[in-house]
């Protein structure tokens, strides 16, 4: 808990000192930690684990159930559905470009992709496994996973640490450079339409980039309070104040309603919006954020221009092949 609080304090302090930086293109590769270098074998294993519903208690929910890489990297639900049809109170963040986040989850409770990958599997609402020991026992009973872990990590290597490292290695391949915006800032001035350029300038002029800055438009991993201004007129419709955000982790009143700044990359594909998925359209989200964070009331033209710019942040998805999962001939784990 001390490490989480120290990281949170550092990120909040850094965010208050930052200002909108120069427009940046997304890197074409994602960084990997020294203790988990990316290899083809890890990525292949991670892809299997990510798409395998047998990592859930019911055999019906996988990582990809809520973070669908065939779409916007999430599930387009207000609140994601886990085992037995249970739903949580938050909207699933996109997995696309999550490798560039300094912390994971809306409340930043995981400091790395590896730490994030460990959480949902044993969450009783999400994937519902009783413990990681149960997960490891299940994986060890599948011959195909014995081979895949050996290729990625060596003999007798099926354990929680290596499973989460493999999933994280796969997720670090899920990046979307080469959007129209990236081409524009790279020098191709024909890559954006006149309206998108207008929206880009309005985005900076209003102050949106004071939080949504950097190559991933997430403030470099900062936390920000939301809403900043009185939201009482929105509460009945959007329920913005019910979840206390970061304070749910730190238990500190001064952290109430602080959230990890979400990326705006591929934002056009990830409706509904906000931490609780209460806003159905991107136009609405832009207008609400302008009002509650910046104290600005947008006219329809400005909203339309900004939305046009945000559409330019959609990048091409890397080509993927859904993996063939290791089989369990003649038996099942589901009862």
Active site residues: 126
Kind plus residue range of the DSSP H or E element containing 223: strand 223-225
Cα 21 to its chain centre, rounded Å, is 22
φ, ψ of residue 168 in degrees (nearest 5)? -65, -40
CA atoms within 13 A on the CB side of 192: 27
- Return the closest-CA partner of residue 296 out of 236, 243, 244, 228: 228
**Cβ atoms 103, 245 nearer than 8 A:** no
Q: What is the DSSP letter of 279?
A: B
Query: Helix, strand, or coil here: 73?
Result: coil
Query: Helix, strand, or coil here: 149?
Result: helix
**Cβ atoms 117, 164 nearer than 8 A:** yes
Q: What is the DSSP letter of 326?
A: P
Q: What is the residue-wise DSSP string for 83-144?
A: GGG-B-SSPPPP-TTGGG-SSBSTT--BSSHHHHHHHHHH-TTTT--S-HHHHHHHHHT-HH
Q: What is the residue-wise DSSP string for 244-277?
A: -BTHHHH--GGGTTEEEPPP-TTGGGS-SBTTTT
Compute the 3-state secondary structure of the chain and give helix, strand, coil in percent, each to the nearest 5: 45, 5, 50
Kind plus residue range of the DSSP H or E element containing 224: strand 223-225
């Amino acid at each position: 808990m001390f490490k989480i609080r120290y990281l949170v304090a550092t990120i909040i302090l850094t965010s208050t000192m930052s200002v909108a930086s120069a427009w940046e293109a997304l890197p074409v590769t994602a960084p990997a930690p020294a203790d988990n270098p990316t290899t083809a074998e890890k990525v292949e294993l991670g892809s299997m684990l990510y798409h395998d519903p047998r990592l859930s208690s019911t055999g019906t929910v996988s990582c990809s159930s809520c973070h669908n890489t065939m779409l916007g990297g999430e599930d387009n639900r207000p609140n994601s559905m886990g085992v037995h049809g249970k739903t949580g109170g938050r909207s699933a963040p996109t997995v696309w470009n999550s490798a560039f986040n300094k912390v994971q989850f809306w409340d930043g409770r995981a400091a790395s992709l590896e730490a994030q990958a460990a959480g949902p599997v044993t969450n009783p609402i999400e994937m519902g496994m009783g413990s990681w020991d149960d997960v490891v026992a299940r994986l060890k009973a599948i011959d195909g996973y014995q081979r895949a872990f050996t290729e990625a990590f060596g003999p007798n290597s099926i354990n929680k640490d290596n499973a989460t490292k493999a999933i994280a290695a796969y997720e670090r391949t899920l990046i979307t450079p080469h959007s129209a915006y990236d081409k524009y800032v790279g020098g191709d001035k024909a890559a954006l339409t006149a309206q998108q350029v207008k929206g880009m300038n309005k985005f900076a002029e209003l102050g949106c980039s004071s939080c949504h800055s950097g190559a991933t438009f997430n403030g470099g991993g900062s936390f920000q309070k939301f809403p900043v201004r009185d939201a009482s007129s929105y509460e009945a419709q959007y329920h913005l104040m019910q979840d206390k955000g970061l304070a749910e982790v730190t238990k500190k009143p001064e952290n109430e309603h602080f959230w990890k700044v979400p990326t705006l990359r591929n934002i056009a594909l990830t409706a509904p919006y906000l931490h609780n998925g209460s806003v159905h359209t991107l136009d609405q989200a832009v207008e609400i954020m302008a009002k509650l964070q910046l104290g600005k009331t947008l006219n329809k033209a400005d909203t339309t221009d900004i939305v046009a710019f945000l559409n330019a942040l959609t990048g091409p998805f890397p080509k993927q092949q859904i993996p063939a999962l290791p089989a369990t001939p003649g038996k099942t784990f589901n009862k």
